[in-house]
Amino acid sequence: AETVLITQQSHEELRKVIDANKTAAPDQQRLVVVSVSPQSRASLAAQFGLNPTDTARKLTAFFKKIGVHYVFDTSFSRNFSLLESQREFVQRFRGQADSQQALPVLASACPGWICYAEKTHGSFLIPYLSTVRSPQQVMGSLVKDFFAQQQHLTPDRIYHVTVMPCYDKKLEASRPDFFSQDYQTRDVDCVVTTGEVFKLLEEEGVSLSELEPAPLDSLCSSVSAQEPSSHRGGGSGGYLEHVFQHAARELFGIHVDEITYRPLRNKDFQEVTLEKEGQIVLHFAAAYGFRNIQNLVQKLKRGRCPYHYVEVMACPAGCLNGGGQLKAPNTPGKELLQRVETLYSMVRTEAPEDAPGIQELYRCWLQGEGSERAGRLLHTSYHAVEKASSSLGIRW
């Protein structure tokens, strides 16, 4: 069933929905919403020789031209993922003594990693996983709950597509946890990769560089999204950096301006520490790629994992290097990745707590931080499946 759901997620499906809208009666049409990830934007910017802001605006123009109604930026939903991750970490660190929830907290934004964790070490690893939804799935909540209400539509009347750097995001969108039984609809109906967007551009005979830019859409009517935004930290969302800085301030009263990473076994396994009075009080790590993940799991199983928090990502070098990103035939992979990283970091960054609209949405939409509603719409759960991944196309 999962495989069928995944094959339903393609740029052809998006086109079918747009075509169906053209002939459907008004009350049968679906509002088409596309949410674009900053990693995909950077990959397309490199491909077309554009800056990220122009890429975001031209991509908006392209989607509107083919019949999409709204185009959003998943950096907006990432604000919630980061804030919830910060809060969760501090709570779990403080509650360490009664051992209700285990440390280290293992980041959960990467579905490749989550799938591996559930299917190979489910009952052992699940207590460590952060329960925070990934930016894609927070966007799913925002679009199918908040935005649907704003538009006076039921969630099934919205067709929500995300543009992502990897295929495993299709698997994430298909999880039963993100399906509404009441409305028989998913929070994210279709995930297309950056490469599939490029195919769509080619099939439509459109070159992104030649399009007139269009203004970005904003989910919150009180906020005008003039230009795309992003967050500090690496191309996988900056989880380690945000959680570390927040925890240093909140738990130890220490303000950390710059994070200094110390490479361990290789550049994809790095650690960061915070010292107070000569003692290490915070010990974080980033483990990217399957080799490093296996190493981390071994450490945990042997009871020799010194970390309080680990940002775990399945792809070596993280999301900017995801399997759904564009390849350039005449450019070596390393050079292309460097270009994409530079473009990714060119975008204006903001602290998630200061991002316009976030506090307002916590108040009006979620009924406050830490509320039951915030728990339901911004968090998720995991399920142990103690057998190896089979035909789901997980790449390692």
Cβ 362 to ligand SF4 shortest distance, Å: 25
Please give the Cα distance from 371 to 112 (Å, whole number). Answer: 29
Nearest to 357 by CA among 215, 217, 216, 220: 220
38 binds ligand SF4 (CB under 6 A): no
Angle, to 10 degrees, between the axis of helix 38-48 and the axis of helix 194-203? 50
**Nearest by Cα to 274 from 290, 258, 287:** 258
Helical axes 194-203 vs 11-23, angle rounded to 10°:
50
* Nearest alpha-carbon partner for 377 in 42, 76, 145, 113: 145
Residue number, 17 or 378, with CB nearest to ligand SF4: 378
Q: How far is the CB of 361 from ligand SF4 (least distance, A)?
A: 24
Select 140 or 165, whichever has its Cβ closest to ligand SF4.
165
Site for ligand SF4 in 94-133 (CB under 6 A): 110-112
Site size for ligand SF4 (CB under 6 A)? 13
Residue type at 365 in one-letter notation: W
How far apart are the C-alpha atoms of 144 and 377, rounded to whole Å?
A: 10
Residue 238 half-sphere exposure toward CB, CA atoms < 13 A: 24
Hey, which residues between 151 and 170 contact ligand SF4 (CB under 6 A)? 165-166, 168
Nearest approach in angstroms of CB 139 to ligand SF4 is 14
CB of 291 to ligand SF4, least distance (A): 14
CA separation for the pair 172, 112 (Å, rounded): 9
**Closer CB to ligand SF4, 104 or 112, in the complex:** 112
Toward ligand SF4, which CB reaches closer, 36 or 282? 36
Find the binder of ligand SF4 among 300, 318, 362, 380 (CB under 6 A).
318
User: For residue 342, what are the contacts with CB-CB under 8 A and spacing of at least 6?
Assistant: none
Q: Residues 225, 319, 358, 378: which binds ligand SF4 (CB under 6 A)?
A: 319
Element (H, E) at 88: helix 74-94
| Min dist. Cβ of residue 112 to ligand SF4 (A) | 3
Q: Minimum distance from CB of 322 to ligand SF4 (Å)?
A: 3
Q: Would you count residue 314 as binding ligand SF4 (CB under 6 A)? A: yes
DSSP, residue by residue, 93-121:
HHGGGGTSS-SSEE----HHHHHHHHHHH
Q: Is 315 in the site for ligand SF4 (CB under 6 A)?
A: yes
Cross-strand pairs, 33: 70, 160
User: What is the rounded CA–CA span in Å between residue 162 and residue 140?
Assistant: 9
- Tell me how long the chain is: 396
Q: Which of 313, 336, 358, 378 binds ligand SF4 (CB under 6 A)?
A: 313
Could you tell me if 234 and 318 are in contact, meaning their C-beta atoms sit under 8 angstroms apart? yes
Report d(CA 120, CA 385) in Å as an integer: 7
Q: Minimum distance from CB of 290 to ligand SF4 (Å)?
A: 10
Q: Does 211 bind ligand SF4 (CB under 6 A)?
A: no
Comparing CB distances to ligand SF4, the nearer of 34 and 317 is 317
CB 293 within 8 A of CB 316: no
Q: Considering the complex, what minimum distance in angstroms separates the CB of residue 28 from ligand SF4? A: 34
Nearer to ligand SF4, 131 or 194 (CB): 194
Q: Which two tokens stand for residue 199?
A: 């195919």
Report which residue's Cβ sits closest to ligand SF4: 322
* Interface pattern 165-204 for ligand SF4 (x via CB under 6 A): xx-x------------------------------------
241 to 270, contacts with ligand SF4 by CB under 6 A? Answer: none
Residue 318 Cβ vs ligand SF4, minimum distance, rounded to whole Å? 5
CB of 99 to ligand SF4, least distance (A): 29
Nearer to ligand SF4, 17 or 166 (CB): 166
Residue 42 or 319: the one with the smaller Cβ distance to ligand SF4 is: 319
331-352 core/surface letters (b: 16 or more CB in 10 A; e: else): eeeeebbebbbebbbebeebeb
Is the omega angle on the peptide bond into residue 104 within 30 degrees of 0, that is, cis?
Answer: yes
**Residues 212-241 close enough to bind ligand SF4 by CB under 6 A:** 236
Interface with ligand SF4 (CB under 6 A): 110-112, 165-166, 168, 236, 313-315, 318-319, 322
